[in-house]
Amino acid sequence: MCGIVGYTGNRKVVPILLEGLRRLEYRGYDSAGLVYQSERKLVKFRAAGKLIHLEEAVDVAIGVASHTGLGHTRWATHGAPTLDNAHPHSDCTGELVVIHNGIIENYGSLKEELVAEGHFFSSETDTEVLAHLIEKYLENDLVAAVQKALARVEGSYALGVMWAKDPNKIVAARNQSPLVMGVDDEASYVASDVPALLPYTRKVIFLDDNELVVLEKGSYTIMEVDSGREISKKICTIDWNAAMAEKAGFKHFMLKEIFEQPQAILNTVSGRIIPDTGEVELPEISLSGEELCNIERIALVACGTSWHAALVAKYWIEKWVGIPVDVDIASEFRYRKLLMNERVLTLSISQSGETADTLAGIRLASSLGSKIVTICNVVGSTMTREADGIIYTHAGPEIGVASTKAFTGQLSALFMLTLYLGQVRQTMDREKLKELGAALIDVAGVIERILPQLQKDIQELIERYYDSRDFLFVGRGLNFPIALEGALKLKEISYIHAEGYAAGELKHGPIALIDKDMPVMALVPQDCVYQKTVSNVEEIKARQGRLLLIGTEGDTHLATLTDDVLYLPQVNEELNPLLYTIPAQLLSYEIANRRGCDVDQPRNLAKSVTVE
Ligand code: F6R
């Protein structure tokens, strides 16, 4: 939610800011802006809409010999996505600027106070109060003024501040919104997320809440916001590289990321599942065998696609480990009465590790005595720093706003965790562990093999579906969450209204929607609920629903039900969720692409949801 980037060093700043914003645009694309220091003045450019408009506006400034600046890409919370509301925001003098990610919750009362004192506002944003509040406290010391202003603020922020009278300096601070610094000998960087730094440095420092950093050319000072006490922090080296965050010849990041899934699965299990012995090694979980044996319940907490991964995990863990599992949407979990104690393990699932609701959920669970393990894709993200244990998915940077490879990475990690719990609690014997561990590795190979032809088959099919107004996705058992995921993918990138249902639930209401104009993608693998799912498909056919079936190779019965059948190889049925996700993703992608939608940056969305 909003991307921020800052640089001070020896190089020309405008291209660095633009490149950083390009890499952060997935965080928001309602408007963009930047500011750079020009002698003792600040020069500001802003544009409504996508980054391209800012790029056109700053064309003239690309070669400017300024070496310090800030950039911002906005996901609107307070105030429409207009030019006036685009960041950076200035104080009354225009000599001080602020960029911000987060929400200043008490901005209304602060604004009233500042207006009464004669400050003039030019936007509807909550951010602008920060600029005026810092101005109010500014005498000669920018850092002191920022500290005083932040002491008055309630809410979340990652912010960057520059003052024309204190040139070549950036002050940045964080509370509940992500902020990472990049360091090298000659320059200092700050950004919302690591991809913005990858072309320049892989040495980073993740800032925590109540931390402020003063960046100067090649040096930095980190301190606590409230006390001003200096602190030293560990420099981490990131193992992603800049090319991993490029499209590599694919039309969209989403398509590239769909094709990266076999590798993402293998990277996630590599070194953790030992194929010869069936052993699973997960030392990063940081819980002893005794602690794992004492768990009486598992609470899974996540949002969106990550929540769908949690729903699949409930089936796996309850079946193979015999521990009851609750699955919650984080925004609900955090506001309901939680029955938690030290015998409940809370597991958060998040690609970004920054999702505000999920973070709040684990903080709450932790305060009630629960141990926290997070399954996360972004190394060093807030969730990983707050959890007791971590299982990283090694899917690599996911840039497309619609999550794909992170999802199959999460499923792989959750399946591996199931095996690990089965091993530690001895609910699975060695042979079973070996069989299922091998099946997980196998499914990566199967997906790799089928992807190119499946894409071609779907490209042909979608001519009959791309202009639909509505779409249903149905599945049973392990594939019910995949139906939900298919519907989410389609609606978020193609704007077609779509719903996912448990196939057996249709007759309790949604079947009323079925007629000749209602496409239904049904997931019908030959698994333990196959006959039941086929009966549900028959019910749809009887009401003239337009069936698109995804089933197991060799299942000739499906072809008697509809002309549109896509066949997938038989894999161990526990792993069907990974396999059956692929046609749902490709269908959504191809339909959105055919409709000319902006696949990687769908309207109204942002990848990292750091506000509640
Ligand atoms: C959908 C999608 C979102 C995210 C959700 C949680 O394609 O990407 O639904 O899954 O915002 O994000 P993370 O996993 O970063 O917590």
pLDDT in tens, 91-104: 999 999 999 999 99
Active site residue 507: no
- Centre of ligand 1 to C-alpha 60, Å, is 37
Two structure tokens written together for 574:
């526990």
Query: Which of these is catalytic: 12, 136, 169, 607?
Result: 607
Question: What does the pLDDT read at residue 563?
Answer: 93
Question: What is the atom index within ligand 1 of the atom nearest the CA of 608?
Answer: 15
Q: Tell me the residue type at 466.
A: Y
Question: What does the pLDDT read at residue 609?
Answer: 83
Question: What does the pLDDT read at residue 63?
Answer: 84
**Among the residues of 81-127, which ranges form H helices?**
107-116
Q: Give the pLDDT mean for 529-558.
A: 97
User: Nearest C-alpha to atom 8 of ligand 1 is from which residue?
Assistant: 403
CA end-to-end distance (rounded Å), the chain: 11
pLDDT classification of 608: cutoffs 50, 70, 90: confident
Ligand 1 pocket, residue 348 CB under 6 Å:
no
Ligand 1 pocket, residue 351 CB under 6 Å:
yes
Which domains, from first to last, does the chain contain? 3-245 (3.60.20.10), 253-449 (3.40.50.10490), 465-594 (3.40.50.10490)
Question: What is the atom index within ligand 1 of the atom nearest the CA of 401?
Answer: 8
- Centre of ligand 1 to C-alpha 553, Å, is 32
Question: What is the atom index within ligand 1 of the atom nearest the CA of 406?
Answer: 14
The yes-or-no verdict on residue 452 having pLDDT over 80 is yes
Ligand 1 pocket, residue 303 CB under 6 Å:
yes
Look at 54-68, 235-249, 302-316 and tell me which has the smallest mean pLDDT: 235-249
Question: What is the atom index within ligand 1 of the atom nearest the CA of 304?
Answer: 9
Q: Give the pLDDT mean for 274-296.
A: 93
User: Nearest C-alpha to atom 5 of ligand 1 is from which residue?
Assistant: 304
Question: What does the pLDDT read at residue 606?
Answer: 82
Spatial contact of 17 and 34, defined as CB atoms under 8 Å apart: yes
Ligand 1 pocket, residue 383 CB under 6 Å:
no
pLDDT classification of 30: cutoffs 50, 70, 90: very high
Q: Give the pLDDT mean for 355-383.
A: 95
Active site residue 136: no
User: Nearest C-alpha to atom 9 of ligand 1 is from which residue?
Assistant: 304
- Look-up of token digits 């009362």: 109
With a pLDDT cut of 90, the percent of the chain lying above it is 89
- Centre of ligand 1 to C-alpha 406, Å, is 9
- Centre of ligand 1 to C-alpha 150, Å, is 30
The yes-or-no verdict on residue 71 having pLDDT over 90 is yes
Test site for ligand 1: of 252, 306, 328, 384, most ligand atoms within 8 A of the Cβ: 306
Strands (E) located in 311-453: 325-329, 344-350, 371-376, 389-392
Q: What is the DSSP letter of 2?
A: -
Nearest to 579 by CA among 372, 340, 336, 411: 411
What share of residues in the chain are helix, strand, coil (percent, to 5)?
Answer: 40, 25, 35
Spatial contact of 370 and 342, defined as CB atoms under 8 Å apart: yes
Distance CA 370, CA 321 (A): 19
- Centre of ligand 1 to C-alpha 304, Å, is 5
pLDDT classification of 401: cutoffs 50, 70, 90: very high
User: Nearest C-alpha to atom 16 of ligand 1 is from which residue?
Assistant: 350
What is the sign, positive or negative, of the torsion defined by CA atoms of 361, 367, 373, 374?
A: positive
Spatial contact of 58 and 122, defined as CB atoms under 8 Å apart: no
More confident call, 545 vs 380: 545
> Does 88 sit behind a cis peptide bond, omega within 30 degrees of 0 on the bond before it?
yes
- Centre of ligand 1 to C-alpha 303, Å, is 6
Spatial contact of 65 and 59, defined as CB atoms under 8 Å apart: no
Ligand 1 pocket, residue 350 CB under 6 Å:
yes
Distance CA 36, CA 68 (A): 6
Q: Give the pLDDT mean for 273-284.
A: 92
Mean pLDDT of the chain: 95
Question: What does the pLDDT read at residue 240?
Answer: 82
